[in-house]
Amino acid sequence: MLTNKEKKQIRSLQIKKYRKQYGEYLIEGARLISSALEVEDTPLKQIYVTKAFLSNLSHQEFIEALRKKEMPFCVVSEADLLSITDTVQPSGIAGVCSFSHKNDIKPDDRNNWLYLFEIQDPGNLGTLLRTAVWFDVKHIALSPNSIDPFNAKVVRAGMGAHFHTSIFEPLELSVLKKTHTIFGGVSNGASISSIETIEEPWILAIGSEAHGLSPEIINRLDFSVSIPKIGGGESLNAAIAGSILLYELTGQNP
């Protein structure tokens, strides 16, 4: 059973200020919990589960996996779980994770990066994180004035990507410029397919949904790139454009 103090602290994780204060965030659902458990150094600190979830026959294999991993879980009432989560109909299980948030960058860093400038839409950010992990780009930097990457909607949209990334925020692009070639998605840039040789390490900068990259960021780019339009439509959103550019930069195009 959860005490009122515990409920208050867990519920406070819905607010950015308290996520930063405690260095924790909340995840919901068996799929996200399973994804967190698959990581060798799992960020999961505590799981909360209802009796109904535990007694559901379809969940027995999952519960057994929790026990084998000796992952602590607390049985709570439906009302308590509803009080600590932000979904209207919680699925019966939630967990508290520690941050994968970082601020220390090594001077000799040779990783490829995804740099996100003032991204505000949680669905777009979550999708970009998923795509970056898919293409093995695990270093993500967010500019100041971006949405919190541990916002509940971002975490749900990320579908477990948070457990496989190092997230740096807030971070200015100038910190990385010294060692990397910087590509930026710009509507009037050269076609990404026209870049014949892509040398690593690189950074891909994607701008906000409403305004794109700032003039200051554009001035720092080594290559302004775009996605040629074949059909109709006004534009691609940040998540789709970023995903296509990541595909091209990681050399997946045969």
Written as six digits, the tokens of 218 are 């554009």
pLDDT of residue 18: 95
Domain that holds residue 79: 4-99
Model confidence at 254: pLDDT above 50: no
Model confidence at 102: pLDDT above 90: no
Helix, strand, coil % in the chain, rounded to nearest 5: 40, 20, 40
Q: How many domains does the chain have?
A: 2
Which residue, chain included where needed, has tokens 């900068």?
A: 205
pLDDT of residue 190: 86
Q: What is the pLDDT of residues 180-194, one digit of tens each?
A: 899 999 988 888 888
- Same domain (yes/no): 39, 143: no
- Same domain (yes/no): 20, 56: yes
Written as six digits, the tokens of 221 are 């780019």
Q: Minimum mean pLDDT among 42-51, 93-102, 130-139, 217-226: which range?
A: 93-102
Model confidence at 222: pLDDT above 70: yes
Which residue, chain included where needed, has tokens 């005490």?
A: 3
**CATH code of 28's domain:** 3.30.1330.30
Q: How far apart are CA 116 and CA 128, in angstroms?
A: 9
